[in-house]
Amino acid sequence: MNILRKLLAVLALLLLATGLAGAADKEEKVVYHVTESPTTMGPLNNVRNHLNASPKVKIVVVTNGPGIDFLLDGAKDKNGNPYDVVVEELQGRGVQFRICNNTLEGRKIDHKRILPDVKIVPSGVAEAARLQIQEGYAYIKP
C-alpha cells in the first residue's frame, strides 16, 4: 500500500508539472475595459506597467460610454497632459484600442475626432465579451 501511495504522489506531481509547463507556454491575452472617463493616466499606466512586466502580452483596450473620451483628439488629463502621446506610445508597443460606435452615435461625435489607428467596433460591451468568449482574453476593469 505504501508503494501505491508513493506512485500516486509521483504521478500527481508529474501531472501538475505538465499542467504548469503548458500554462507557461500559453499566450497571454488581456482586454482592458474602460467605461469611465479617466481623469488621470491611471488606466494607461496600468497597461504600460503590464507590458513592462510581461512584454509579450497581447493587450486590447476596449472603450465605451464616458470611457471613450481619452481617445478623442485634444483630450487631456486633469493635469493638462495629452492622452494622444501615451496612446501612440502604447500602440507602438502593440496595444490595440477599440472604441464603441454606439457611444459615438449616441453622443453625436464625429469619427474624425478619434485618434489615429483606433478601431471603431459596433458595441464596446459586445467587443469585450467577444474577446473573452471567442478569443480567450482575460478581462481587466481598471
Comparing CA positions, the residue from 77, 130, 84, 126 lying closest to residue 101 is 126
- List, edge to edge, every strand of the sheet that includes 138-140: 119-121, 96-100, 58-63, 29-34, 138-140
Residue 17 pLDDT class (50, 70, 90 cuts):
low
Q: Tell me: the pLDDT tens digits for 84-111?
A: 999 999 999 999 999 999 999 999 999 9
CA–CA gap between residue 34 and residue 42 (Å, rounded): 11
Q: Degrees (nearest 5) of the Cα angle 122, 67, 32?
A: 80
Give pLDDT tens digits for 104-138.
999 999 999 999 999 999 999 999 999 999 999 99
CATH number of 27-140: 3.40.1260.10
- What is the residue extent of each domain of the chain? 27-140
Would you give the distance in Å from CA 88 to the centre of its chain? 15
